[in-house]
Structure 1
Amino acid sequence: MERNRKERGSVLGSVAELFDLPADVVARLPHLEMIGSRQLYLERHTGILAYSETQIDINTSGGVLRLRGEHLTLTAMTAEELRLSGRIDAVEWVR
């Protein structure tokens, strides 16, 4: 199984290089941007797993992204993108 992952990764890397595309886009990896500690923008999520004012767990192909803070609010959400606001104290990947 590990061998298949390595082969898949090298194939995706070759495709990305061949077409001059970012590897994260080809591999469908999540893209995360933060504006200070007040806003977070995430592309390529697969849903929200848990939601409260102090913690939000978001499912992605790279694992679960956990945000902790205060007054966390889902500002906007589409099938693949979301924007959160509030005071973000911690962002971590939970495997």
Structure 2
Amino acid sequence: MEKRKRRDTPLTELAELFDLPGDVVAGLCHLEMIGDRRLFVEHHSGILAYSDQCIDVNTPCGILRVSGRNLTLEALTGEELRIGGAVERVEWVKTDA
């Protein structure tokens, strides 16, 4: 059985050339959690809904819903979002588009 050669896209070739993570070059969102107390989201497109129990974030990957208690926006820039509080659930919300 012949093994198929993987075709790299220009973005993945560029990422390899400069030794960059492919997700960064492709503009995908990056999530990082610290325990259940803090969530960092990079490459977001804004806040869609906000309360102390639920925050919906628009990202290139879809809508990210963060649920919990006493949620706060600790930082918000064009590139990064930092959510604090008791994070109980992080999920991707499907939309009918």
- Give TM-score, length-normalised by structure 2: 0.84
- CA drift of 1:14 comes to 1.9
Structure 1 unaligned segments of length 5 or more: list them.
Answer: 1-6
Q: Secondary structure at the match of 1:25?
A: helix
Consecutive aligned runs of 4 or more in structure 1 exceeding 3 Å deviation: none
After TM superposition, the score normalised by the length of structure 1 is 0.85
CA distance in 1, matches of 2:41, 2:76: 9
Larger Rg over CA atoms: 2
What stretches of structure 2 of length at least 5 have no aligned partner? Answer: 1-6
Alignment partner, residue 57 of structure 2: 58
User: Which structure has more helix as a fraction of its residues?
Assistant: 1
Secondary structure class of the residue paired with 1:88: strand
Taking the aligned partners of 1:60 and 1:71, their CA distance within structure 2 comes to: 23
Distance (whole Å) between structure 1 residues aligned to residue 25 and residue 91 of structure 2? 23
Partner residue in 1 for 2:35: 36
Match of 1:46, SS state, is coil
Per the alignment, in what secondary structure is the counterpart of residue 19 of structure 2?
A: coil
The total of aligned residue pairs comes to 88
Question: Residue type of the partner of 2:22?
Answer: A
What percentage of aligned pairs have identical amino acids?
Answer: 58
Aligned equivalent of 2:92: 93
Please tell me the root mean square deviation across aligned C-alpha atoms, in Å: 1.5
Per-residue deviation at 1:45?
A: 0.5
Letter in 1 for 2:55: I
